[in-house]
């Protein structure tokens, strides 16, 4: 199972990013866990200055804006 963390304040872009990850995983038949992290200290701990950020298995893979659907599919299937 892949563990994703969506880093952000809970804004619409953060919600859309989490939903996109969940939908891509469902379409690919991949088990994922999506955790929403809103604590600014935890977000800063990953070095994210612009949200949403995405962490996959404790590795920062994206920051700043909603990721491209192709990129999300790559994370899920990769």
**Could you give the residue numbers annotated as active site?**
11, 14
The conformation of residue 67, written as its DSSP 8-state character, comes to: P
Q: Check if the beta carbon of residue 10 is closer than 8 Å to that of residue 38.
A: yes
Helix, strand or coil, per DSSP, at residue 23: helix
Q: In angstroms, how far is CA 65 from the centroid of its own chain? A: 11
Q: Could you tell me if 28 and 77 are in contact, meaning their C-beta atoms sit under 8 angstroms apart?
A: yes
């Amino acid at each position: 199972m892949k563990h994703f963390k969506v880093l952000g304040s809970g804004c619409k872009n953060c919600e859309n990013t989490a939903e996109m990850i969940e939908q891509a995983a469902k379409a690919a038949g991949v088990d994922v866990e999506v955790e929403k992290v809103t604590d600014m200290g935890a977000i800063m701990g990953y070095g994210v200055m612009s949200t949403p950020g995405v962490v996959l298995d404790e590795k920062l893979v994206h920051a700043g804006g909603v990721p491209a659907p192709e990129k999300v599919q790559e994370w899920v299937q990769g």
